[in-house]
Chains A and B, each alone.
Chain A
Amino acid sequence: MPALTDLIEAGRPAEHQAPWRHAVVAPKAWNLAVEQLAAGRWSLLGLWGEPDKVHMALLDEARVIGVISLDCRGGRYPSVGQQHPPALRLERAAADLFGLAPQGLPDTRRWLDHGQWGVSHPLATQPAKPAGEASYRFLTAEGESLHQIPVGPVHAGIIEPGHFRFTASGETVVRLEERLGYVHKGIEGLMAGAPLDRAAMLAGRTSGDSTVAYSLAFARAVEAALGVAVPPRAIWLRALMAELERLANHLGDIGAICNDAAFALMHAHCGVLRERVLRAADAAFGHRLMRDRIVPGGAAGDLNEAGTSAIRSLVAEIRQRFPHLVELYDNTASLQDRTVATGRLNVELARQYAAGGYVGRASGRDFDARRTPGYAPYDELTFDVPVLQEGDVNARVWIRVREVEQSLSLVEQILGRLPAGPIRADVATANEPREGMALVEGFRGDILVWLRIGEGGLIERCHLRDPSWFQWPLLEAAIEGNIVADFPICNKSFNCSYSGHDL
């Protein structure tokens, strides 16, 4: 059985790549890696294209991370999705953007390209004429008395757009198929040729609820590529922002999930706590969502006395109020009736798709990028990574509850040990192209950023992989056999990003 390092050593190493190894490999080694994925030994962290190459980020059994690439002559390469379904949508997206042709891909429908751009393969060396609008063939379901329910792209609530096609038998969902791509903004296209500060802005606007996590992932990838030493105080401030973002989102989600079971009281109280987090973030860092506060080289603003005390009183408030809400959740039978055993995601699927965040951890996948591969300052902090096996809506609520408690502790630890000193280092450009990669734990799961910076300090190619890529397909599996009326609560318990996925 090969190790990832063996494959990479056998290939042609990419120059100036940090922090993980990257090699261009022969088709045979590529296929060997695909076999490891299909056999369930390795996990797929990402798959993305370039005009003449396809790249795969992998995690092997020894939890070693690496990137392998394959030259695509004539745009062709052997499909990964053919053997490892989690790659399917990533390959369809790379086909839409770069015109790559994965050989043997079982699903060749366009994914991000809805025939509206006025161009085909916009990121290829030679973009093609538009292929024209083609109707989208949804997958079929056969049986007596089945009916279809089309939902979206404009949804009834205040949420992002996407289309859901339900096939139901009476009240029971037989098949759900998602169609996404409606909020594709062409972020990776805008990144190409952008200076670092503009690219950092774009990265921070990939998914609004994870603006801190994306900014951090982008900054860490740039810093890895250019070998920037970030001042210690900045590293700790960035972790503080990341934990505040996690708190705000988890509190909002816990309330919103209960609201989808028509239990508005939890929603109201969690909404108050979420608002308190945003106000403390505003007081401490000058923006409620802390947007553009993390930049390559450090942080854009320092934390003062007033900010520190705002965060300290926030933690005290949540510590006082949150346990009562958890007790309320746990002791309300009518609410438990809706969440327990609903939308069950089995452990095997979570593992196969390398599902990150609460989706994976509620279904037995013990993975947190803060611990593996880990990054500063988390190696100096004490925290638990909660894992459950049940995989239902209730488990996804409990993972969030436990993570709120962990984040509160992390915020206190960070405030107690925040080092003094500068908060930003100069980012000097290099004389040759440099590659960098980062894996950062956002509230939703691990965000991967891979980029190459050219000689002039401009971004040549930047790929941002949202955790939702590996969670959206699992929602289709989790809803099967549930009633249509339980879809909102299942969907909210996953809370996948549309914008982060569509990019």
Chain B
Amino acid sequence: MRKLLFESLIRPPLTERSPQVSDAAVDELARALDGAARKRLGRSLSIRAVDAGSCNGCELEIHALNNAFYDIERFGFRFVASPRHADVLLVTGPVTKNMREALKRTWDATPNPKWVVALGGCAKDGGCFAGSYAVVGGVSGVVPVDLHIPGCPPRPIEILKGLIALLDGANGTVGASLA
């Protein structure tokens, strides 16, 4: 173990540079966020991931955000274990009917101010599962959505861009640039 730790000291970091935030995400957020909420959050966002019926592909890429390459905590994001601690619900999947109630209850349990990010193609409109007897077809059919991050699944860097846009927006920089 000592050898591994020592090597880590002398090897260069693997961490990627901070990505540029996509304009589309900033635009969508500017519309979604209201001014009063921005100041309350400080510089961090707590995220509660909710799988509402995804194939697990999106979860794999959310996991990747925690690896040394993306190291999401350096931007002030933390994944939390309870909706009670969350500012953001990161929801994946087409929302199966069997998960509809659980998603709604998770949203109800999240204190205000709160945002919902719908991650992946299914979370937007049900994707290739739309039309099934067992799915609602998109997160916005159950809880209000503030930001969509497209992809099947989105690359970690795309998720990161979307979340940074959300954080900037939540801290007022989006509002400031519009004012």
Residues of A within 8 A of B (CB): 114, 116-119, 122, 153-154, 156-161, 181-187, 189-190, 198, 201-202, 205-209, 211, 252, 265, 268-269, 271-272, 274-275, 278, 288-289, 291, 324-325, 328, 331-332, 497-499, 502
| Inter-subunit contact B55/A499 (CB<8 Å) | yes
| Inter-subunit contact A122/B99 (CB<8 Å) | no
Which among B19-27, B35-43, B65-73 touches the partner chain? B65-73
Q: Given contacts A207-B55, A275-B69, are A154 and B50 in contact (CB under 8 A)? A: yes
Contacts of A161 in B (CB 8 A): 51-53, 99, 102
Residues of B within 8 A of A (CB): 1, 3-5, 14, 49-64, 66-69, 79, 81-83, 93-94, 96-102, 106, 127-129, 131-135, 152-153, 155
**Cα–Cα, bound, A118→B1 (Å):** 56
Nearest-neighbour CB distance to chain B for A489, whole angstroms, equals 17
Contacts between the two chains (Cβ within 8 Å), count: 148
Contacts of B68 in A (CB 8 A): 268, 271-272, 275
Report which residue of A184, A198, A498 has the largest number of chain B beta carbons within 10 angstroms of its beta carbon: A184
Report which residue of A154, A182, A332, A502 has the largest number of chain B beta carbons within 10 angstroms of its beta carbon: A154
| Inter-subunit contact B81/A122 (CB<8 Å) | no
List 14 other contacts, CB 8 Å, given A182-B98, A190-B129: A116-B97, A116-B100, A154-B83, A158-B59, A158-B62, A159-B51, A159-B59, A184-B53, A184-B98, A187-B129, A207-B55, A252-B60, A288-B155, A499-B56
| Inter-subunit contact A181/B128 (CB<8 Å) | no
27 examples of A-B residue contacts, CB within 8 angstroms: A116-B101, A118-B133, A119-B133, A122-B134, A154-B83, A159-B51, A160-B54, A182-B96, A183-B54, A183-B98, A185-B129, A185-B134, A185-B135, A186-B134, A202-B129, A208-B54, A208-B56, A252-B63, A265-B1, A271-B66, A272-B67, A272-B69, A275-B67, A275-B69, A289-B60, A328-B1, A497-B56
Q: Given contacts A183-B51, A202-B128, A498-B56, are A154 and B133 in contact (CB under 8 A)? A: no
Contacts of B51 in A (CB 8 A): 154, 159-161, 183
**Cα–Cα, bound, A157→B56 (Å):** 13
- Secondary structure type dominating chain B contacts: mixed
Residue of A nearest to B106 (CB): A154
Contacts of B129 in A (CB 8 A): 185-187, 190, 202, 205
- Secondary structure type dominating chain A contacts: loop
Residue of A nearest to B133 (CB): A122
Contacts of A206 in B (CB 8 A): 55
**Cα–Cα, bound, A312→B9 (Å):** 27
